[in-house]
Structure 1
Amino acid sequence: MANSTNLVAGPFPLSKIGLGCGVFSGAYGLAPQADAVKAVRTALSNGVNLVDTSPYYGDSETKLGRALLDLKDEFPRSSYHICTKVGRYGYHISDFDYSRKRISESILESMHRLHTDYLDIVLCHDVEFVDVSQIVDIALPKLFELKQQGLVRKVGISGYPLDVLLRICQIQQGRGFPLDVCLSYCNYNLHCQALTAAVPKLRAAGVETIIAASPLSMGLLSDDETPEWHPAKSELKAAVKQCIDLVRSSDKISLAEIAENYAFSYNDVDVHLVGAKTAQEVEHALRAYAHAQQLQLHAYGKYEDDNIQRICAQIKTILEPFAEYTWPSPPANA
């Protein structure tokens, strides 16, 4: 199991593994409140000090807030960082609202659900769905105002297309208000390594904390059925299915383990954000992080087991054609 000393690093003292609580919504299977409490307790007990959520994630904020309230005697508010988001409240573009009024309301609603009087990090959620001007001329100036008031500690953005994220970061730097945080998801994993080229540019744009989310690519790289809603093209899903079948020939490792070991070996980001809805899933992620750091894995790992090493080499061959592939975001039907 990883420990707090190994997990905490960086200029803003965030743990290297963060707990993604979007899975509390039930989008990845049943997520009872009791399991949420156990997942949060396990994470905080093992040095994880960042929990991430959003109003868009169903009742995730409510479940996380209740869990933190239940655990307040064990873990006071000062012992962890809460990251939540504003701007996105549904699937369609019409469900986005980055007005100053809605941002103020959203912050207060989130604080109420999370039982806190301040938020450590607030991100504009999925910024690629709206015109950049809504983010840089309306939303971010309002969030920086709230930062001055002490309601928000750090301000940033989240999204999928790296070019959009970088453009906004560069605009903010040019205006003298560089972003504290940038969260990118599904851009560093077994099938995509696009984030490696973007990280130096984000640093050059003044971003203090870079978060890489979803090492399992929103469930695509797990050993279960891919969620029906997953936006990857059919060719990539078929290639991942080949990898799953290949890994099943070994009883010593799973595709999820290989994927997490691979993602967590990338140390140029400040935080790896992992969705986990049970204590067991949290423990699995922490073991994978400790394993990756212990072995200092590179390019598909250095496993002592020759069969596992052979499987990893085959996975690399299967997924290599997709290394620069990204799906459209927003999707055509948004």
Structure 2
Amino acid sequence: MRTRNLGSTGPAVSALGLGSMGMSSGAYGLSDRAESIATVHAALDAGVTLVDTADFYAMGHNELLLGEALRGRDRDSYQLSVKFGQQRGPGREAAGQDSRPAAVKNFLAYSLTRLGTDHVDVYRPSRLDPAVPIEDTIGAIKEMVDAGHVRHIGLSEVDATTIRRAHAVHPISDLQIEYSVLTRSVEADVLPVLRELGIGLTAYGVLGRGLISGHWTPDRAGAPGDQRGFTPRFSAENVTHNLALTDALRRVAEAKGCTVAQLAIAWVAAQGEDVVPLVGARTRVRLAEALPAIDLVLTEDDLAEIEKAVPAGSARGDRYPANHMASLGVGN
């Protein structure tokens, strides 16, 4: 497994990271605990070192799962990236973001306990809290860096202005944001600022939440516990158009001798050595398919063919439901 740095100040991590959200029920349908743990083990054994989670994934279940999966592993052999701050009600309904300094330290204490570790490698607010200056939030995390509980500070889903303000308080290692051949709004304003400041990018949603995985079929929409049933890109009026883009991408993949998922992951990785794709594989089969993508070399001709197949802005529908879009610093 090759490595990439999370910006100029962040750690060296595997060139492909593992996103764990889908390993807990409540995101993409029911999950299998034993298979999830086996997938984490398989990823680590394959050289994946960057593992991403959040304290609100299934209300702490995901951190407990990772704590179990990582138990007994050399703590220096992997990096934990943890998001915090999204609030939920008893029915798991969204209830805003809490990034107050006192809340930051409280959330971190719970995460360290659930994960069974004394530090996280990258700690980041999951969204911008409109009621709290970003300087206050980053300042509180900086105190946790100074105390040894956090190694690096990251951001998630914020705009270029917020990145500059946060970076002025403490060096930011990376921005986590959705980036795929379907979702490219980061390219206009955010990516240039990241590169100006020496900040890396960890890209989630590289397979469009499965839409460009090559495995999605329209009849899967609305499965119990699968939040994609409420996402505009998967809606009945949009999914046929979007799957046609996947079919176009598949033709490029077949000519390249790879799967459509591998091509989509490789496209993200090809956007720069400062970009680390996160793959939300929740089974060993999907992980095994994803791993070869990091060694897939795309030529300029390949990239041009991918652009023809899926031009920027060609996806239909927002990437989140309308009530979530307002919390994003960057749109589609």
Instruction: State the TM-score, normalized to the length of structure 1.
Output: 0.78
- Counterpart amino acid of residue 16 in structure 2: I
Look up the match of 1:104: 105
Moved more, 97-106 or 249-258: 249-258
Look up the match of 1:33: 33
- Counterpart amino acid of residue 120 in structure 2: L
- Tell me how large the CA RMSD over aligned residues is: 3.2
Is it true that 1:172 corresponds to 2:150 in the alignment?
no
CA distance in 1, matches of 2:249, 2:174: 36
Change (3 A) 1:246 1:178: closer
Look up the match of 1:126: 127
CA distance in 2, matches of 1:89, 1:148: 26
- CA offset at residue 219 of structure 1? 2.3
Verify the 8 A CA contact 2:101 2:136 in the aligned structure 1: yes
CA deviation map 1:82-116 (0-9, x unaligned) = 11112113365634222222221211111111110
CA distance in 2, matches of 1:148, 1:320: 42
Look up the match of 1:85: 83
Look up the match of 2:185: 194
Change (3 A) 1:276 1:170: same
- Counterpart amino acid of residue 68 in structure 1: L
CA distance in 2, matches of 1:266, 1:236: 27
Change (3 A) 1:55 1:176: closer
Aligned residue pairs total 303
CA distance in 2, matches of 1:125, 1:95: 11
CA distance in 2, matches of 1:55, 1:266: 29
Identical-pair percentage: 23
Change (3 A) 1:326 1:244: closer
CA distance in 2, matches of 1:78, 1:168: 31
CA distance in 2, matches of 1:262, 1:8: 16
Is it true that 1:203 corresponds to 2:195 in the alignment?
yes
CA distance in 2, matches of 1:96, 1:331: 14
Look up the match of 2:62: 60
Moved more, 34-43 or 60-69: 34-43
- Structure 2: gaps of 5 or more residues: 222-227
Residue of structure 1 aligned with 2:288, choices 264, 283, 290: 283
Name the SS for the 2:152 alignment partner. strand
Look up the match of 1:305: none
Name the SS for the 1:101 alignment partner. helix
- CA offset at residue 66 of structure 1? 0.7
Change (3 A) 1:199 1:109: same
CA distance in 1, matches of 2:4, 2:205: 19
- CA offset at residue 300 of structure 1? 4.7
CA distance in 2, matches of 1:166, 1:284: 34
Moved more, 94-103 or 212-221: 94-103
Verify the 8 A CA contact 1:216 1:256 in the aligned structure 2: yes
Change (3 A) 1:135 1:92: farther
- Counterpart amino acid of residue 47 in structure 1: G
CA distance in 2, matches of 1:208, 1:332: 24
Instruction: State the TM-score, normalized to the length of structure 2.
Output: 0.79
Look up the match of 1:141: 139
CA distance in 1, matches of 2:245, 2:326: 29
CA distance in 1, matches of 2:301, 2:113: 44
- Counterpart amino acid of residue 280 in structure 2: G
- Counterpart amino acid of residue 290 in structure 1: D
- CA offset at residue 284 of structure 1? 1.3
- CA offset at residue 281 of structure 1? 1.7
- Structure 1: gaps of 5 or more residues: 303-308
Name the SS for the 1:330 alignment partner. helix
Moved more, 271-280 or 97-106: 97-106
Verify the 8 A CA contact 1:262 1:297 in the aligned structure 2: no
- Counterpart amino acid of residue 43 in structure 1: A
- Counterpart amino acid of residue 191 in structure 1: L
